[in-house]
Structure 1
């Protein structure tokens, strides 16, 4: 939060040019993170790994509708972003375990806040959607 507007979230009080340039929006770190966690599987993978480390096949079995390819892509992207740690164990065949990094763990707090907000307001959102469809 800004020092002068303690009741206004920092995201809202930050100055923005008008109009917001497309390249600035694309380079924005908030936009980047929201793209990552806003994909179909990342939040679920992060939440599961927030509970404990998982082996690949165990994680795959724990997410009913995800393909092996999509789980691999999701884990690689989260690893590239520094949110997930991949550890290979020297067994025959090699086994791999995934866990959250400290950076990934730090994301659990804001994700939990967003989840709490969504659960708290799901009735309001459903009512607004219903009203919107009945207006057309």
Structure 2
């Protein structure tokens, strides 16, 4: 039985893989007449001592992300998706992406911007697959 999705989220970190995930989300959303939620998580847990030097760093990243996310929102809308939401959160991507309220399908890249994190503490995609409460689709 194929599930009909009403709300599809796509994890965006602006990597090549997340752009492929966005393309897939558009296709799946069209097939399901679904809402697309673009979600970007500013990984403040990786900042470490940066915050001690510049308290505005997270806010600057958020503003830059909002500009890029607005462009992606327009791209998704131009592809024929009538309802597109943009969400930008601060915190741990591993935690935030596994707890998305109302989302029935999360589409994300199999790898993201940092391969170092994968070697040291395990990939975000792996954590999502193990812990998410919704269906997951990984894109290569």
TM bucket, shorter chain: under 0.3
More strand by share: 2
Q: TM-score under structure 1 normalisation?
A: 0.22
More helix by share: 1
Structure with the bigger RCO (C-alpha within 8 Å, sep 6+) is 2
